Chain A
Amino acid sequence: MEFNIEFSKENYPNTPKQIEELARIALNTRQDIIKSLFLAKSGHSGGPLGISDVMSVLFFAGIMKYDSQNPNWKERDRFVLSCGHYAPVLYTVLARAGYFPTEELLTLRKLGSRLQGHPGLDSELPGIETSSGSLGQGISIAVGMAMSDKLLEKNDRTVFCLTGDGEIQEGSCWEAAMSAGNFKLDNLCWIVDNNNCQIDGRVEDVMSIYPLGDKFQTFKFEVIEIDGHNFNDIIAAFNQFKQNQKNRSGKPTVIICKTKMGRGVSFMEDNYQWHGNPPNEKEAIQALSELI
């Protein structure tokens, strides 16, 4: 059969939405991810699909403050993608937020594209706050940004940062955690995608990070653990973080999102083999038929 890949031009407004609308956006996000990865012929499927629900809420439910027509707006909240291999989901939400044309999703990982395999600041893609790809660095960058906002500029901006769960095996993550607690960065929201998968297998089999919530607690974090596919949970978690920031709780927030890698595509779901692979044509057709 003929397989035509097209990306609609639809942009989503960043406003409070009904659950059904968020679910539709998350589904479209997953479609975009499958299409762009199929075209790229390489890249990471599992993580981006698994975090699509959380990313859809963050960018399109009025949680994060940004202006896609003015990417360097001085009052914007910042989103730092620490796990750079999740680039496909970031590119998708940025395109749908209006930072750049959705057609550009066709160019993922191609020579000359602004959509680098892992985000690169030098590509000058609007909406990208930093390069990332070597794990465990983005969270320290987010700490530095949050320090600038809270301790130097003394403004009320927010820094969101997404890491994987295997990623926090990197020791530097805990240096970052220590400093976030030390500097009382209640303007920092650390999102952990706890899909319990990494390239070599289950996280606890490769190197256990558990108990996770307790660890963050001892590092002086406000810990919120949620089902990362439950939109009510996700919205409530972000609202709780914002309340903490508003109340000047003096504690950074971590939202540990229990997710399923590859969510929404039956043969990818909770299967760590899909960490770093793109779908081939047959698989992409199958995946898209499930994502409706």
Chain B
Amino acid sequence: MQEYKLIGNKPTRHGFGEGLVALGERNENIVVLGGDITGSVMTSYFAERFPERFFSIGIAEQNATTIAAGLALSGKIPFFSSYSAFAAFRNTDQLRISVCYNNINVKIGGGHSGITVGPDGATHQSLEELSLLRTLPNMTLISPCDYNEAKKATLAVGESFGPAYIRFGRSAVPSFTLPESTFEIGKADIYHEGTDVAIVACGLLTWEAILAAQELKKRRGINARVINCHTIKPIDIHTITSAAKDCGAIVTAEEHQVHGGLGGAVAEVVVKNYPVPMEFVGVKDTFGTSGEPDELIKYFGLTWKEIYSSALIAIERRDKGISSVRYPKEIAPIAEELK
């Protein structure tokens, strides 16, 4: 474990685009399919570098996904990328039958994910794909926390066998992992040690979790364990179970619906192996709306403050044996503290 510091701001999609080029250099079987928005999801880097291995499929996510299956069945390692709003939903049937049931080497890059796509509004703010795709057998599901991790995740899925989906965002987000930081598919990383409460996060909310842990320590002397659970499937059962045993209270945090995504995946592990009180930070069963990314993060309650409050609630529930859900009313005093 090491202390993580802010080292800059960069979109995760850049890590994806650069990771693809690096993969292309290493392996000539890497092929990329474009869905018209290649300059947005940064597959344009690959297209420029390897034009003979890049194919523009147009605005046709069903076809692109299934063509990718045909390429994979021919020994290629195809990546198809579009916005998550289209690359996980428009083609779900194709992902289910042609990709996951076939259990072949198709990789999907879901760009512009989550609320931080911003002004485009609800139609483009995918908040459900982790829940949706987590139910597909054979699927690997990764939500990297920053630029460096996105690049490493891209390389990792390109060099391991099977269907995979990587989730990226549009906006520049805090960079804090280093090129030499470890990354292993299915192995969650502990970013902040503690045994008072565990915060399990992925994607953008990982940085917020680190901030929350720092504030909990500073303001309350609470030692929170921060776990970057970048791989939602296969979930790291060992790290999560240990966190439940060591801390006795868990908060999950994700830029995604609270139902069925990271929170759901963690809850399944906790309930089965070592039940402890859990709180969930995420979008609460509602669609998004237009706004600037930093406004929306606050509007939907996806900042360190909600993680901080949730941690206190989880701790209180553990200590007092309270099983009922207490917010939003009881959260007011904490909100006052955070003003």
The residue on A at minimum CB distance from B66 is A140
Give Cα A104 to B102, complex, Å: 22
Residues of B within 8 A of A178 (CB): 58, 60, 63
What A residues does B69 contact at CB under 8 A?
Answer: 130, 137, 140-141, 144
Asked if A122 and B103 make an inter-chain contact with CB atoms under 8 angstroms apart, the answer reads: yes
* A131 to B43 alpha-carbon distance, docked (Å): 29
Q: Closest Cβ of chain B: how far from A167's Cβ, in Å?
A: 14
Residues of chain B within 8 A (CB-CB) of A145 are 70-71, 73-74
Considering only residues 75-111 of chain B, those with a C-beta below 8 Å from chain A are 75-76, 78, 93-94, 96-98, 101-104
Q: Which residue of B lies closest to A172 (CB)?
A: B62
A143 part of interface (Cβ distance < 8 Å):
yes
Identify which of A130, A134, A171, A172 contacts B73 (C-beta below 8 A). A130
Write out the residue numbers on chain B whose beta carbons fall within 8 Å of the beta carbon of A134: 93-94, 96-97
Say whether, besides A129-B73, A179-B60, A144 and B97 are in contact (CB < 8 Å): no
Q: Does A121 contact B (CB under 8 A)?
A: yes
Q: Residues of A within 8 Å of B, CB-based: how many?
A: 31
Q: Which of B68, B74, B101 contacts A131 (CB 8 A)?
A: B101
Q: Is the CB of B73 within 8 A of A175?
A: no
* C-alpha gap A134/B101 in the complex (Å): 11
**Does any Cβ of B come within 8 Å of A147's Cβ?**
yes
Report A-chain residues with C-beta under 8 Å of the C-beta of B52: 152
Q: Does A120 contact B (CB under 8 A)?
A: yes
Answer yes or no: B55 CB below 8 A from chain A CBs.
yes
Compute how far the CA of A175 lies from the CA of B64 in the bound complex, rounded to whole angstroms.
9
Q: Is B67 an interface residue (CB 8 A)?
A: yes
In the bound complex, do residue A140 and residue B63 qualify as a contact, i.e. CB atoms below 8 Å apart? yes
Alpha-carbon distance A5/B94, docked complex (angstroms): 38
Q: Which of these, B53, B70, B93, B96, contacts A144 with CB under 8 Å?
A: B70
Instruction: For the complex formed, measure the closest distance between the CB of B146 and the CB atoms of chain A, giving whole angstroms.
Output: 33
Contact A121 B62 (CB under 8 A): no
Chain B at the A interface: SS class: helix
Is A149 an interface position by the 8 A CB rule?
Answer: yes
Asked if B139 is an interface residue, CB under 8 A from chain A, the answer is no
Is A142 part of the binding interface, using a Cβ–Cβ cutoff of 8 Å? Answer: yes
A132 on the B face (CB < 8 A): yes
Q: Which residues of B273-302 are within 8 A (CB) of A? A: none
Report the minimum CB–CB distance from B71 to chain A (whole Å). Answer: 5
Closest beta carbon of chain A to B105's beta carbon, Å: 12
Which residues from chain A contact B65 at a C-beta distance below 8 Å?
Answer: 140
Is the CB of A133 closer than 8 A to any CB of chain B? yes
Q: Is A256 an interface residue (CB 8 A)?
A: no
List of B residues within 8 angstroms of A122 by Cβ? 101-103
A15 an interface residue at 8 Å Cβ cutoff?
A: no
Tell me, yes or no, whether B222 is within 8 Å of chain A by CB: no
Of chain B, the residue at the smallest CB distance from A74 is: B75
A37 contacts B by Cβ under 8 Å: no
Contact status A147-B60, CB under 8 Å: no
B70 in contact with A141 (CB, 8 Å): yes
Inter-subunit contact A144/B66 (CB<8 Å):
yes
A68 → B minimal CB distance (Å): 19
Query: Using a CB–CB distance below 8 Å, which chain A residues touch chain B?
Result: 120-122, 129-134, 136-137, 140-149, 151-153, 171-172, 175-176, 178-179, 183
Some 12 contacts from A to B, beta carbons below 8 A apart, are A121-B102, A132-B97, A134-B93, A134-B94, A140-B65, A141-B73, A141-B98, A145-B70, A145-B73, A148-B75, A172-B66, A179-B60
